Amino acid sequence: MNISVIHPCFNEEENIEQTVTETLAWFDREEHDGEVVIVDDGSKDRSGEMIKKMRSNDTRIIIVTHEHNQGYGIAVRSGCDKASKEYIAFIDSDGQFHISDLSVLLPFLTEYDFVPGRRRKRADPFIRNLFGKILGVLIFLTFGLWVRDVNCGMKVFKKSLWPTIRPLYGTEKFFNTELYLRLKQAGYTWKQVDVPHYPRRAGTPTGGSGRVIIGMIKELFDLRSKLRAARSAHTQ
């Protein structure tokens, strides 16, 4: 398969090397014509240095650098913009998803346009699991869109979809929400497939605070307002 794998990276010096090494090994093992697009989203640790060193040893590694942290959604979007292969996958860099499990999703691309994972059992603290459930309810109440595990960090799709489904407004918690809304609006098909979710290898996850959930609600309503304004402008 001709595939680009996007790894967004923010302060992942303890994880990024193993993640990228495993992806390259997966290309070799499965005989994929692949590239790894690593998006360094303004990391303050040694992530950028480590990525550049890996790139010097393997030309299948493509680097996109953000001078300042712009958030998960913008990082994934930048990676997808840079991708050059027929298929695009994006997978978190913290080791909670294993590239080998992407092989479970790929066969469904013969029938569906977009194939996201769905965490079989989340290996996260209780509060993060709770926030995930709250997020799903808020999305349903706001947009009428019900997707279990909307933010699962493993997804794959045909690159030809990207210009149509590319999120413009959702930058952090609701990047994936906007992506699904655009998929639905365009009439594309998708199939969620259960995948394992592993404990984080190292480092500290973001999220899980009152400040984060307040910001999440604000971003949700910002997204709704921007999408409504865009639809209104389009119909005029």
Quick check: 236 pLDDT over 70? no
CA distance 194 to 116: 9
Q: What is the pLDDT confidence band of residue 233, given thresholds at 50, 70 and 90?
A: confident
Q: According to the model, what pLDDT value does residue 224 have?
A: 87
pLDDT tens-digit readout, 11-54:
999 999 999 999 999 999 999 999 999 999 999 999 999 999 99
**Mean pLDDT calculated for residue range 119-143:** 75
- Contact criterion met (CB below 8 Å) for 50 and 27: no
- Contact criterion met (CB below 8 Å) for 128 and 202: no
Q: According to the model, what pLDDT value does residue 123 have?
A: 61
CA distance 221 to 206: 21
Structure tokens at 153: 């960090």
Q: According to the model, what pLDDT value does residue 228 have?
A: 85
Q: According to the model, what pLDDT value does residue 212 have?
A: 67
Q: What is the pLDDT confidence band of residue 214, given thresholds at 50, 70 and 90?
A: confident
pLDDT tens-digit readout, 107-124:
999 999 999 999 887 766
Q: What is the pLDDT confidence band of residue 125, given thresholds at 50, 70 and 90?
A: low
CATH architecture of 2-235: Alpha-Beta Complex (3.90)
Any idea where the domains of the chain sit in the sequence? 2-235
pLDDT tens-digit readout, 55-79:
999 999 999 999 999 999 999 999 9
- Contact criterion met (CB below 8 Å) for 61 and 20: yes
Q: Which one is predicted more confidently, 22 or 234?
A: 22
pLDDT tens-digit readout, 164-207:
999 998 767 789 999 999 999 999 999 999 999 988 777 665 55
Q: What is the pLDDT confidence band of residue 89, given thresholds at 50, 70 and 90?
A: very high
